[in-house]
Every structure is written in C-alpha cells, then in structure tokens.
C-alpha cells in the first residue's frame, strides 16, 4: 500500500445463510399443507366408517375374588373383603373385546392380586366405553356417591382423547386431577397410559403415523401428570407394542382395534407389578423404571449438548469479513 493513502479496514458484506433449496422447500411445504390436511381428513372419515362402533355391553366382572380361585361372589355389605379395587377409564378398562368376564383387566387383576396377597379382593368397575379424560371426573364423582373410596384404583385412558383430537396438555391435566382426587381419598393409583396407535394396521398411513405421534406424546404427558399427582404410570405403549406386532391375530379382538382376552392378559401382566408394589405386597423394583431413568439421563445429556452445539440461524444475514488489500 502506497504511503499517504488511507488505510482501509475490513469490508463487511452481508450474505444470507438460507440456501435457495431451503427457500424452495419452505414454499413446497406451504403449497402442500392444504392437500395434506385434506388427505388426513379424508382418511379420518374413512377410518371412522371402518372402526367398529362399541355399542355392545362389555362383560361385567364385578364381585369378590378369593384366594384359591372358585366362583366370583356377589358383593353385599355383609360380605367380608380385604382390598377394594376400582377400575376407571375407557373401553379398554372395561375389557371391551373380550368374550368372557374372566378375561377383562379388572377380573384378571383381582384374581392375580388375590392369589399373590392371599386376600379377598372386591372389584368395582366405573369405566365407561367411549370415555375420554373429560369423563374421569364424573367417574370419580360416581365413586363417592356409591360409597367409601377404594383401597386401590386402576385407570386406563387416552385412546379416545387422541381420536377426538382433545388437547394433549388438557387431557393429561384432567387425568392428573383425577389421580389427585383418588390419592387424597387414600387410594393407591396405577395408570396404564395411552396405547400405541402404530400397531393398528387398519388405520391407513399417514393417518396412523399422525395418531401414533399424538398418542405417544399424550402418553409422556400422562406419565408426568400421574407422577406429579402421586400415582404410578405404566407405559403400555412401550411394554405392549413389541408383542402386539409379533402376534396381532392373537392379541387383537375380532374388531381389530380392541385387545382380545389374550391381549388383556398381556396388559394385566404389566399392570399387576405396579399395583402390588403400590399396595405393599411386593418390594421388587418395577421392570420399566430403570429404562425410564436411563431415558431421562439420555435426555439430560442431549439438553447439555444442545447448549454447546452451534445454534441455528435466526434468519438474520451473517457478515462475511473480507480483508482489504
């Protein structure tokens, strides 16, 4: 540089980081949004036509279950019981899809709990076919009207919240409120969270993927709400999906949507450890808790990585520094 000429500093040229491909992709997404929504709406209408309507009355299994098996005794005020178990929720809680009262979740839990504890178990079912989380408050109200609260409660809810597009945070909050009321009454509470819609092959894609995504999000929100309210969440989607994928014919009922008797037996195997643990009948660690802790640890590590990972652009052009000379 010649003497006497002004010294130039760095020249700052602003260039956008977003590529032309990103711009084109954004435009494509916007242009297809309406078409995608129409496709999903059409598939939902078709699915509602195909999905069987749950008009049939599910088997009634209420009564008193004694150790050693034998017939279920009708409960009356003079009939002695040791543990009162009450079941809340939707059609899966009622055992819809099973062909015999002995196959319902309530019956299986009562029978297994009686054998495990050596006590007499009274089963009462408040669950209603087609119920959503909005109906849980009414089911708990009915419990208080009918008599003293139970010693233990099992809730299975969530599928209808997904199909009816109820808000995920609101649905989880309503479940948490029900658990809180039951815990305040002195009952231990176990909740089977929302199942996995991805295993219902009668629902076409991409609707099945959308329903599965919402269902898994709801299950996670349910688990947080249940734990915060003092209950025990059981991740049915995680625990049951592999088995249902292997043997759908055996584990689904004739309608292709609700579990069969064998499917409910599998679900009961997941709920029973949590129920017996909550009642103090067993001290074993619940099998899925270590996996949940591992997942939380992984999530923590990912959050830490996100803090040190290069941040994505905000859309503001970044300066390119070109030395002069």
- Tens digit of pLDDT for each residue in 37-87? 676 666 666 665 555 555 567 889 999 999 998 899 999 999 999 999 999
Q: Which of 82, 177, 238, 255 is catalytic?
A: 255
- Tens digit of pLDDT for each residue in 215-227? 999 999 999 999 9
Task: Indicate whether 313 pLDDT > 50.
Answer: no
- Residue 258 appears among annotated catalytic residues: yes
Q: What is the pLDDT of residue 55?
A: 55
302 falls in which pLDDT band (50, 70, 90)? very low
Q: What is the pLDDT of residue 311?
A: 41
- Residue 255 appears among annotated catalytic residues: yes
Q: Which of 258, 260, 276, 277 is catalytic?
A: 258
What structural domains does the chain harbor? Answer: 48-299 (3.40.50.1110)
Q: How many CB atoms lie within 10 A of CB 240?
A: 22
Residue 41, C-beta contacts closer than 8 angstroms, at least 6 positions apart: none
- Tens digit of pLDDT for each residue in 116-141? 999 999 999 999 998 999 999 999 99
Helices (H), 147-286: 159-163, 168-184, 207-228, 236-246, 248-251, 261-278
Q: What is the pLDDT of residue 9?
A: 53
The phi, psi pair for 126, rounded to 5°, reads -110, -5
CA 154-160-165 angle, 5° bins:
135
pTM of the model: 0.77
Q: What is the pLDDT of residue 116?
A: 93
Q: What is the pLDDT of residue 254?
A: 86
16 falls in which pLDDT band (50, 70, 90)? very low
End-to-end Cα, the chain, rounded Å: 8
Under 8 Å between Cβ of 122 and 114: no
d(CA 295, CA 235): 13
- Residue 284 appears among annotated catalytic residues: no
Residue for token pair 């050693």: 68
- Tens digit of pLDDT for each residue in 137-179? 999 999 999 889 999 999 999 999 998 889 999 999 999 999 9
Q: Which of 54, 91, 98, 124 is catalytic?
A: 91
Residue 192, C-beta contacts closer than 8 angstroms, at least 6 positions apart: 89, 92, 154, 155, 156, 234, 236, 267, 270, 271
- Tens digit of pLDDT for each residue in 242-297? 999 999 999 999 888 899 999 999 999 999 999 999 999 876 667 656 444 444 44
d(CA 236, CA 173): 19
């Amino acid at each position: 540089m010649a003497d006497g000429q002004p010294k130039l500093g760095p020249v700052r040229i602003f260039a956008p980081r977003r590529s032309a491909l990103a711009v084109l992709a954004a435009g494509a997404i916007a242009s297809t949004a309406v078409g995608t929504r129409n496709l999903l709406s059409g598939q939902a209408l078709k699915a509602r036509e195909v999905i069987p309507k749950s008009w049939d009355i599910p088997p009634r299994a209420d009564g008193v279950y004694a150790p050693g098996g034998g017939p279920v005794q009708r409960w009356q005020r003079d009939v002695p019981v040791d543990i009162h178990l009450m079941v809340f929720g939707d059609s899966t809680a009622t055992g819809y899809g099973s062909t015999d009262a002995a196959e319902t979740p309530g019956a299986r839990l009562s029978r297994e709990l009686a054998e495990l504890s050596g006590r007499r178990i009274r089963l009462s079912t408040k669950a209603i076919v087609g119920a959503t989380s909005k109906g849980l408050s009414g089911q708990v109200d009915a419990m208080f009207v009918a008599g003293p609260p139970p010693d233990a409660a099992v809730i299975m809810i969530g599928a209808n919240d997904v199909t009816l597009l109820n808000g995920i945070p609101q649905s989880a909050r309503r479940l948490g409120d029900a658990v809180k009321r039951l815990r305040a009454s002195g009952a231990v509470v176990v909740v089977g969270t929302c199942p996995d819609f991805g295993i219902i092959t009668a629902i076409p894609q991409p609707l099945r993927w959308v329903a599965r995504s919402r269902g898994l999000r709801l299950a996670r929100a349910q688990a947080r709400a249940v734990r915060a309210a003092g209950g025990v969440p059981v991740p049915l989607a995680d625990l049951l999906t592999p088995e249902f994928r292997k043997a759908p014919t055996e584990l689904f009922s004739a309608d292709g949507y609700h579990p069969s008797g064998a499917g409910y037996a599998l679900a009961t195997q997941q709920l029973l450890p949590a129920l017996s643990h909550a009642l103090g009948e067993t001290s074993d660690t619940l099998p899925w808790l270590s996996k949940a802790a591992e997942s939380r640890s992984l999530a923590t590590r990912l959050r830490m990585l996100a803090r040190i990972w290069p941040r994505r652009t905000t859309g503001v052009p970044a300066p390119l520094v070109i030395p002069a000379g």
